Structure 1
Amino acid sequence: MSTDPKAIEREIEQARERLAATIDQLAHRASPKTIANREAWAIKAHYVDPETGEPRTEAILKTVGIVVGTVAALVILRKFSR
Structure 2
Amino acid sequence: MSNADVPAKAAPPSIADLEADLAERRQRLARTIDELTEQIKPKAIVRRQTEQAKARFAAATTTPEGDLRTERIAAVVLASVGILTVVFLLRRRRG
- TM band (smaller chain): 0.5 to 0.7
| Corresponding position of 1:68 | 81
| Distance of 1:23 and 1:75 partners within structure 2 | 47
Gaps of 5+ in 1: none
1:35 Cα offset (Å): 3.5
Distance change (3 Å), C-alpha of 1:5 and 1:80: same
Q: What is the RMSD of the two structures over their aligned residues, measured on CA atoms? A: 2.7
User: Percent identity at matched positions?
Assistant: 14
SS in 1 for 2:52: helix
Structure-1-length-normalised TM-score? 0.64
| Distance of 2:59 and 2:74 partners within structure 1 | 15
| Corresponding position of 2:90 | 77
Match of 1:19 among 33, 36, 47: 33
1:81 Cα offset (Å): 1.9
| Corresponding position of 2:20 | 6
| Corresponding position of 2:52 | 38
Structure-2-length-normalised TM-score? 0.58
Higher helix share: 1
Tell me: higher relative CO, structure 1 or 2? Use CA pairs within 8 A at least 6 residues apart: 1
Gaps of 5+ in 2: 1-12
Give the total of aligned pairs.
Answer: 78
1:70 Cα offset (Å): 1.0
